[in-house]
Amino acid sequence: MDALTISELHTIDAIGLEGDVPMKQIASSLGITMATATVAISKLVDKGYAARFRPENDRRKVLVSLTKKGKLARCAHEKFHKQMIDEALSGLTSEEIGILADALVKIKNFFESQETQLEGT
């Protein structure tokens, strides 16, 4: 497999396994412009990780899906993350894992509330 950059892996994650994702949704998910998303997708298409097409019913839209190679890369990346998490948690007791989980939920809720406030301004 060709080497993938972290940005390319994030783009592959944004496309997901479902496929037929609008370019606009990928750009929004990654917090990048459409122009930047176009360049990122073009690189993945050139490397054989993604395919793009225009649906017959709306030729203005560009949809993107992962190829088999892209799906394999996404699964391998997910497996890598799971292994890292398992390793990181392996030295913790059940009680410590519970405390960590509670803290992470609070942090997540904080950032979601900040995001909501920013969207309201």
| Banded pLDDT at 58 (limits 50, 70, 90) | confident
The one-letter amino acid at 110: F
Where do we find the tokens 């080497």?
A: 3
Tens-place pLDDT, residues 59-118: 888 999 999 999 999 999 999 999 999 999 999 999 999 999 999 999 999 999 998 888
Residue 57 has pLDDT above 70, yes or no: yes
Domains annotated on the chain, with CATH: 6-74 (1.10.10.10)
Global pTM value = 0.76
- Give the start-end residues of each E strand in 1-121: 21-22, 50-53, 63-66
pLDDT > 70 in the chain, percent:
98
* Stretch 45-51: mean pLDDT: 97
Across-strand partners of 64? 21, 52
Classify 66 as helix, strand or coil: strand
